[in-house]
Structure formats: structure tokens, C-alpha cells
Amino acid sequence: MAEKIKLSVDGILALESSFIKVPYEQLKKANRKAQKFTEKELSNLASGVADLAKGKGSGAKDPVKALDAMIERMNKLKRKLDELKAEETMYAGKLAARLSHLQDLAHIRTLTAPEFAAWAHLRLQRVLLDYLMRQGFLTSAKLLATGSSSHSASDASGSVMNLAAASAAAEPMAVDTDPTPAPASQVPAPHPVAGLVQFADLEFFTHQRRIERALERHSCTEALAWCHDNKVALKKLKSHLEFNLRLQEFIELARTRQLVPALEYAKTHLVAFADLGHTRAIQQAMALMAFPPTTTCEPYRTLYDSDRRWTALAAQFRADNFALHCLPPLSALEATLQAGLAALKTAQCGGKHEDRSINCPVCVPDTFAVLAEKLPLGHHVNSCYVCRISGEIMDEDNPPLVTPEGYVYSRKAVHEMAAKNNGFFRCPRTHSIFKVAQMKKMFLT
């Protein structure tokens, strides 16, 4: 019977904060937007009514027309509030579904319970979903999120593989190039009540991708609008993104030698940042008025380095957007994988070919070994002996045998090889051949 290992809920939840934080922050933002909009509109209406009552203002000449305009404005407010309410309801639904998914853990006692296998399977799906979205594979993410919802639990594992294959076929090359919705025939529309859809932050990543794409096209407009929407939060973060975007727009004017508009732009948008510790950067940028884009003089040549600067802006926007929504820079898939690899990694891992264990994932060259290269070693209180041939642990039931040349293999592997070779054992390291009787039993201490 399988050993019952107690479930460490705290350990599992340690990686889940961003899973809850993203819809929570979006709900907060939508709520703030609705509140601000209502306050602004109601205050305008109140002052309009007050002016009308006193016979003042633009509506005094034709009060009926002014009242009609107010009614139209109130209808507009109602429509806008309906839209915002639908947005809030969607985020609240996501939050509730995610909390309920995590709450399910409270009823699972052991790691071997079948309920945990089902829960962990769903977790794997959403971790993959998160990874796809972060990498910009939004079409694949939509396929995974919407496709899996139509499968029953019994064929769930097959559905992940099928969808992964479908995603790979749909997107074999690179990141989605167009974040706008694909035709309905290609991508099923997300269903508001479907399971995995509630775990996908598609709106968040679609919006992020749209701004990244604009930056790749050398346009700051979308990113500046985002900075305006998140002004207060970015100030708290001490973000320099807005300044760098403004600086880039100035550099682009200098690049095309539109010197008068560049000067005007600097006066309007850059001077305000001088008090925020950007004086030197502004002075350097202003010197671009004298240096053409063909200059070899530093630092002006670097300031004109278009590719490097636009890539850095996209990376900075991504980092700030993640920070604003409490998203860690590393995806859950990478974080879990690295935690697992670090726990398994030993001083022997990734060494010479003959030292590698055939059952150790960290020893697999080109894949996990590369990922684990910079990771620390796990703290192993007790060491164990692993057979070089079979990868099995050597213990009293399968003791180690030593060849006359001093190399150690498990009894089981030695006997299996000898049975196939007329009682002879061939050392995989030295290629010497021995009789099993020549090998000595080693005692573990």
C-alpha cells in the first residue's frame, strides 16, 4: 500500500500569491475607475442643475435643451456603469473561482489521495496556461483555457496533451503576432463559466501584449496612456518608465532632425522631470540637437541606438506592469521547476558523463542540466548510493558490489548483466571483464 504523506498546504500556497493577486488588483482598478467616473459625472450634473436653478450658465437661455442634454449625459453614465459592472463581475467571478480552487486543498489530507491528483492536474493546466500567456502565446493559451473546459475529468490528461499539440501546431514559431481576437472558427470564444477560463488572465496579458507590440513598432502612445492610467501606483513604485518614454519621443524627433518640434517637446514634457533626478539625462538628450544620428561620439551614439533602447523600454514596461499587479518576474512553471531541480541537485550532478545518474533529472544534459546549472545544491542530510547502471538505490536488499578495479555497482545490475553474458560482467567505465565471483560485497555504513 502506498505510503500516506501528509499534505503541506502552506508549502503549496507559497507559490500561489500572484494567482489571487492579479484578479484582485484588476477588480480594485475597475472599481476605482467606476467610482471616479461616477463622482466626476455627478458633480458636473449637480453644478449644471444648480446653475439652471439660478438661471445662470450656458443653459439659461434654453432650459429644456439643457435638461435634455443632462438626461442624455445620465443615460451615458448608466451605460458606462453597466459596462464597468460587467467588468467587475467578471473579475469577482475569477477571484471566487480561484479562492474556491485553493480552498479545495483544505479537504485533502494526503499527497496520495485521488482528490489531490485531480487538484494537482488542474494546477498543472493553469501553470502551463500562465506560462503560455507570459510568453505571449495568447492564441495557444485561449485554446488551452477554452478547449479543456469541454472535456470531462476522465479524459483531462489527454486533453492537455492534445491541446499542447494543437497549440504547437497553431503556433510553432514564435510569440503571437496579433493580440486582437482571432476568427471564431480558429479560436473558441472564452466561456464565462468554464473552469480553466476563470484561471486565465487573458485580458491582462492581451492588454500587456498590445502595449509591447506598440513599443516594438516604436510607438510610445499606448505605453504613455498606460502610465497616465496608473500614475499614482507608478509614482509609489518610483518608476522611471514615463520619463524614459518621453525621452525616447524626444530622441526620435532629434533623429529625424525636427529640431524646433524637439525643443518644444522638451519644454512641455521633459523639463518637469528635471526635479526628479533626471537633470543629467535631459542635458545629454538636449545635446542631440547638435549631434546628428550618424555621430560616433559617446554617449550620443548610444542614445541613438534604437534597437537597444526600444527593447529596454518594452522590458521596463513589462517589469512595471508585473510589479503593479504583484506578479513575480518568474512564471510559476519556472519557479516550481527550479525549486524541484534545486532540491534534487547534488554535487555529483552535471559532472563527467560517467558520474551522472540515469534516473536523475538534473543529470539530463541539454535540458534540465542547463536549467539547473546556476541553481544551488539541495541540502541532503543523508546521502544514498545510486547504481550507475540501473539508477536504483543500493541498500541491504540490493547491496553494492566492488570490481577488482574499485568501481561499485548494485548486485541486481551485476547479476542481470552476468545472466545475459555467461556469468561475466563488463565494467561500463573501464570495459574490463570479470566473473561475478571476483566482485566483493561492500557494507554500507
Residues near Zn ion (CB under 5 A): 349, 357, 360, 362-363
Give the CA distances from residue 12 to residues 19, 103, 153, 255, in Å, rounded to whole numbers and listed in that order: 12, 12, 22, 52
CB of 351 to Zn ion, least distance (A): 8
CB 349 within 8 A of CB 363: yes
- The C-alpha atoms of residue 219 and residue 18 are separated, in whole angstroms, by 29
CA distance 196 to 130: 11
CA–CA gap between residue 5 and residue 21 (Å, rounded): 30
When the beta carbons of 238 and 352 are compared against Zn ion, the nearer one is 352
Residue number, 162 or 346, with CB nearest to Zn ion = 346
DSSP character at residue 110: B
Identify whether the C-beta of residue 388 lies closer than 8 Å to the C-beta of residue 427: no
Nearer CB in complex with Zn ion: 48/350: 350
Beta bridge partners of 6: 110
Residue recorded with cell 472535456: 151
Could you tell me the smallest distance in angstroms from the CB atom of residue 387 to Zn ion? 13
* CB-CB neighbours of 311 under 10 Å: 13
C-alpha cell at 370: 542547463
The CB-of-401 to Zn ion minimum distance in angstroms stands at 22
First to last CA, the chain: 29
Query: In angstroms, what is the minimal distance from the CB of 133 to Zn ion?
Result: 32
Nearer to Zn ion among residue 282 and residue 386 (C-beta) = 386
Quote the DSSP letter at residue 106.
G
Beta carbon of residue 164, minimum distance to Zn ion (angstroms, whole number): 27
* CB of residue 356 to Zn ion, shortest distance in Å: 6
In the complex with Zn ion, the residue whose CB is nearer, 368 or 425, is: 368
If one counts every other C-beta atom within 10 angstroms of the C-beta of residue 22, the result is 23
Q: 225-248 burial, b for 16+ CB within 10 Å, e for fewer?
A: ebbeebeeebeeeebbbbbbbbbb
Which residue, 93 or 361, is less far from Zn ion as judged by CB?
Answer: 361
Residue 53's contacts (CB-CB under 8 Å, 6 or more residues apart) are none
User: What is the smallest separation between the CB atom of 220 and Zn ion, expressed in angstroms?
Assistant: 48
- In the complex with Zn ion, the residue whose CB is nearer, 284 or 346, is 346
Smallest gap, in angstroms, from Cβ of residue 408 to Zn ion?
17
Give the residue among 121, 140, 125 at the shortest CA–CA distance from 199: 125
Instruction: CB nearer to Zn ion: give 197 or 363.
Output: 363
Q: How far is the CB of 390 from Zn ion (least distance, A)?
A: 15
Phi, psi of 441 (to 5 degrees): -80, 140
Q: For Zn ion, which is the closer residue by CB, 214 or 362?
A: 362
Nearer to Zn ion by Cβ, of 149 and 338: the residue is 338
Helix (H, G, I), strand (E, B) or coil at 392: coil
In sequence order, the 6+-apart residues with CB closer than 8 A to the CB of 163 are 143, 144, 147, 148
**Among residues 288 and 363, whose Cβ is nearest to Zn ion?**
363
- 53, 132 Cβ separation under 8 angstroms: no
Distance CA 273, CA 293 (A): 24
C-alpha cell at 66: 439643457
Residues forming beta bridges with residue 424, ordered by sequence position: 435
* Of residues 14, 23, 79, 13, the one with CA closest to residue 198: 23
Give me the least distance between CB of 358 and Zn ion, in Å please: 10
The smaller minimum CB distance to Zn ion, of residues 250 and 409, is found at 409
What is the spatial distance between Cα 87 and Cα 81, in angstroms, rounded to a whole number?
10
Give min distance, CB of 395 to Zn ion, in A.
19
